[in-house]
Structure 1
Amino acid sequence: MELGIGMFGNLGFNQTTGKFNDAGIKLREIIQQIKLMDEVGIDVFAMREHHRPDYAVSSPEMVLAAAASITKNIKLASGVTVLSSSEPVKVYEDFATLDLISDGRAEIFVGRGSFIESFPLYGYSLNDYEQLFEEKLDLLLKINSEENVSWKGKLRSPMDNQTVYPRAKNNGKIPIWRAVGGTPQSVLNAAKLGMPLVVAIIGGMPIQFKSLIDFYKQEYLAAGHAESEMQIAIHSHTFVSDNQNVIEGYFQNYKSQMDRIGATRGWSPYTKMQYEGGRAKDGDLFIGNSNEVTDKINFMKEIFGITRFIGHMDVGAPENDVMMKSIELFGEKVAPEVK
């Protein structure tokens, strides 16, 4: 069982200036936080890609490379790479470079992404949303397994016995996980390909995802993949503090983030009742003291049989000192108890 932390690089909003906080400060804080994760024994860090004013990170590879130089053990992953609007050759080259810098600690989580700003930004049509991802995943997996690549699709120019360098440390192969929401077809495709699975459980009750994860297990084995190699992770909003006042106060951070995104998606304003319901044992929020968060992760192990849990820990842009304490508790109290 691996314990990880994920971040989106959320920027706080300054009500006085009417602007989001400084991205440079946020990036330096993230590097400081990853260094602490490594020191307290967190297994993996995942950095998300966004192309919006309220997030600091559009290039996870750059952040992960900076972190590679000041860490020793923690795995460094994208969480996720929006593959539909990315170039698979460049994705592999960047992460192979990261893998060599970090001495074999790079991973890639690929997904379609729940935000679509990258499509018009990079010149892609949303009409090709599904096909772009399927083609590019096929190419990325081929590059990951073959040094000399011949490939043909419909939306990208073909490759004819072309080489992609540098090669990653482990015979050129980088662990590539499939990140999904709740779409059965995406889960089925991952199972057939034998890809490790990351399920984002953000909203509702986790038990609702049991049939989806059971479906993955069933189809993974039916496709002939070894049960011993099956890896399943969940990714959920997480925050740890043994100070109840901090947990109470974090509601405002969380609400501000949910309401800002919700305003563009037609959601109702986020309520304290939703927050407390999510924090309950059967809720989707892993927000509470170290014992509460430990118990909830163990509950996820029990109902899903997961091999990895990733806590998304910067929702609502909490202050750096509060984040550092949350990371410390997650590594020094939660992780040992879970393991």
Structure 2
Amino acid sequence: MEIGISTFLEAMPNPVSGTPLRHAERLRNAVEEIVLADQVGLDVYGVGEHHRADFAGSAPAVVLAAAAAMTKRIRLTSAVTVLSSDDPVRVYESFSTLDGISNGRAEIMAGRGSFIESFPLFGYSLDDYNELFEEKLELLLAIRESEKVTWRGGHRPAIQNLGVYPRSVQERLPVWIASGGTPESAIRAGVLGLPIVFAIIGGMPERFAPLVDLYKRAAAQAGHDPSKLSIATHSHGFIADTIDYAADMFFPSQQQMMNALGRERGWGQDYTRDVYESARSLQGALYVGDSEYVAEKIILLHKNLGINRFFLHLDVSTIPHREILHAIELLGTKVAPIVRKEIAKA
């Protein structure tokens, strides 16, 4: 069971002062977090890609590379790479470079993007949203399989027997499919025999069980062994020394973020403390509490979905950096040992 951290490098305004966190400071904080995560024994750290003022993570591979030379064992992944609006050649080159710097610890988490700002920024039409992803994923997988590539698609110029360098240290650079919970994504990942990450940020995580089953069935029908495929989840949360302190510390940032997204996407209701407390319940999608409580929730998630990797999306923006570092320490030294010991008994 692998346990790690994911972040979008949020830089939203402080909910009290209104002052935003400077991008440069958030980037430096991220490198410090990755180094600490490695030191306390966490397995993976992921940085998501966004191209907007309230996030600093427009170049995840660069941030991860900055930490790669200062870490020893932690795996380093995008979370996610918005592949639809990127060039698969450059994606592979960036992450194979990261793989070389880290001596074989790089991964790519490829997704279509729940945020769409990168499409107009890089000149792509949302009318091609699904087609772009399918085509570019095909090219990315072709590049990782062969040094010389011959390929033709509908949205990117063809490649005729050209090499892509540097090659990764790992024989096959790991590529995960990131899913917000659509059956199409689960089937695609299963058919391709790729590991999958489900983003579970609301509702009850156990409701993703049918998608896990769909993924495994699609994999088996395509000739892949489902027992050899990895399944991960990504959920927001925060850990502190006591449950009440964690709940009170995390709520203002979570409320600010959810209300901001709600206004953008027309959800039509404010994120209240009652909604928050329901999400913090044992069956909910928020992993907020002390070490024992968060560990209990991860163990339940493993039981219900059979996951073998868990990402805690730790910082939704305005929690003091020292509190985030302490949460990372607790995740690595307290939560992870409890989870691994309990799962090993099964």
Cα distance, 1:265 vs structure 2: 1.0
Task: Describe the superposition over 1:214-239 as per-residue Cα deviations: whole angstroms up to 9, x where unpaired.
Answer: 11111112211123421100111121
Find the aligned partners of 1:149 and 1:223 in 2 and give their Cα distance. Answer: 24
Cα distance, 1:260 vs structure 2: 1.4
What does residue 317 of structure 1 align with? 318
Over 3 Å counting, the alpha-carbon distance change for 1:17 and 1:192 in structure 2 is: same
Cα distance, 1:16 vs structure 2: 8.0
What does residue 289 of structure 1 align with? 290
Task: Map residues 209-228 of structure 1 onto 2, 5 A cutoff.
Answer: 209-228=208-227
Residue identity matched to 1:312: H
Over 3 Å counting, the alpha-carbon distance change for 1:85 and 1:270 in structure 2 is: same
Find the aligned partners of 2:35 and 2:123 in 1 and give their Cα distance. Answer: 36
Which of 11-20 and 194-203 deviates more? Answer: 11-20
Preserved contact between residue 83 and residue 133 of structure 1 (Cα < 8 Å): yes
Q: Output the TM-score relative to the length of structure 2.
A: 0.95
Preserved contact between residue 231 and residue 307 of structure 2 (Cα < 8 Å): yes
> Where does structure 1 differ by over 3 angstroms across 4 or more consecutive aligned residues?
14-19
**Structure 1 alignment gaps of length 5 or more:** none
Cα distance, 1:242 vs structure 2: 1.8
Q: Secondary structure at the match of 1:242?
A: coil
Cα distance, 1:15 vs structure 2: 6.4
Task: Describe the superposition over 1:21-43 as per-residue Cα deviations: whole angstroms up to 9, x where unpaired.
Answer: 21111111111111100000000
Task: Map residues 94-105 of structure 1 onto 2, 5 A cutoff.
Answer: 94-105=94-105
Find the aligned partners of 1:17 and 1:252 in 2 and give their Cα distance. Answer: 12
Task: Describe the superposition over 1:176-206 as per-residue Cα deviations: whole angstroms up to 9, x where unpaired.
Answer: 0000011101110110000001001111111
Task: Describe the superposition over 1:240-271 as per-residue Cα deviations: whole angstroms up to 9, x where unpaired.
Answer: 11232342232111101111121111121101
Over 3 Å counting, the alpha-carbon distance change for 1:16 and 1:225 in structure 2 is: closer
What does residue 230 of structure 1 align with? 229
Q: Output the TM-score relative to the length of structure 1.
A: 0.97
What does residue 127 of structure 2 align with? 127
Report percent identity of matched pairs.
49
Residue identity matched to 1:61: A
Task: Map residues 125-204 of structure 1 onto 2, 5 A cutoff.
Answer: 125-171=125-171, 173-204=172-203
Find the aligned partners of 1:96 and 1:179 in 2 and give their Cα distance. Answer: 19
**Structure 2 alignment gaps of length 5 or more:** 341-346
Find the aligned partners of 1:87 and 1:93 in 2 and give their Cα distance. Answer: 10
Which of 326-335 and 223-232 deviates more? Answer: 223-232
Preserved contact between residue 48 and residue 60 of structure 1 (Cα < 8 Å): yes
Residue identity matched to 1:304: L
Preserved contact between residue 246 and residue 288 of structure 2 (Cα < 8 Å): no
Residue identity matched to 1:279: R
What does residue 274 of structure 1 align with? 275
Residues matched between the structures, number:
338
What does residue 207 of structure 2 align with? 208
Find the aligned partners of 1:256 and 1:250 in 2 and give their Cα distance. Answer: 10
Find the aligned partners of 1:245 and 1:138 in 2 and give their Cα distance. Answer: 46
Q: Secondary structure at the match of 1:182?
A: coil
Which of 189-198 and 243-252 deviates more? Answer: 243-252
Q: Secondary structure at the match of 2:79?
A: strand
Preserved contact between residue 255 and residue 316 of structure 1 (Cα < 8 Å): no
Q: CA RMSD in A?
A: 1.2
Q: Secondary structure at the match of 2:176?
A: strand
Cα distance, 1:14 vs structure 2: 4.2
Task: Describe the superposition over 1:284-312 as per-residue Cα deviations: whole angstroms up to 9, x where unpaired.
Answer: 10111111100010001101111101111
Over 3 Å counting, the alpha-carbon distance change for 1:113 and 1:253 in structure 2 is: same
